[in-house]
Amino acid sequence: MILTKSLNKLINRFKINDEISLIKTIFFRFALYIYLLMENVKCLIIGSGPAGYTAAIYAARADLNPVVYTGMEPGGQLTTTTDVDNFPGYPNGIEGPIMMQELQKQAERFGTDVRIGHVTRVELNSEKGKMHTVTIDENKTLYAKTIIISTGASAKYLGLPSEQRLIGGGVSACAVCDGFFYKNQEVAIVGGGDTAAEEATYLANICSKVTMIIRRNEMRASKAMQHRVNKTNNIEILYESEICKVLGDNVVEAIEVVNNKTEVKTKIPISGLFIAIGHQPNTEIFRGQIEMDDLGYIITKGKSTKTNIPGVFASGDVQDKEYRQAVTAAGTGCMAALDAERYIGTL
Is residue 188 within 8 A of residue 256, CB to CB? The reply is no
Q: Which residues are catalytic?
A: 174, 177-178
| Close Cβ partners of 127 (under 8 Å, ≥ 6 residues apart) | 310
**Which candidate, 177, 172, 176, places its Cα nearest to that of 188?**
172
Q: Which long-range contacts (CB under 8 A, 24 or more apart) does 8-14 make?
A: none
- Among 316, 324, 312, CA closest to 103: 316
- Say if CB 243 and CB 219 are below 8 A apart: no
Question: Which value, to the nearest 10 degrees, does the dihedral of the CA atoms of residues 263, 268, 272, 275 take?
Answer: -20
Q: At what angle do helices 2-14 and 19-37 cross, to 10 degrees?
A: 70
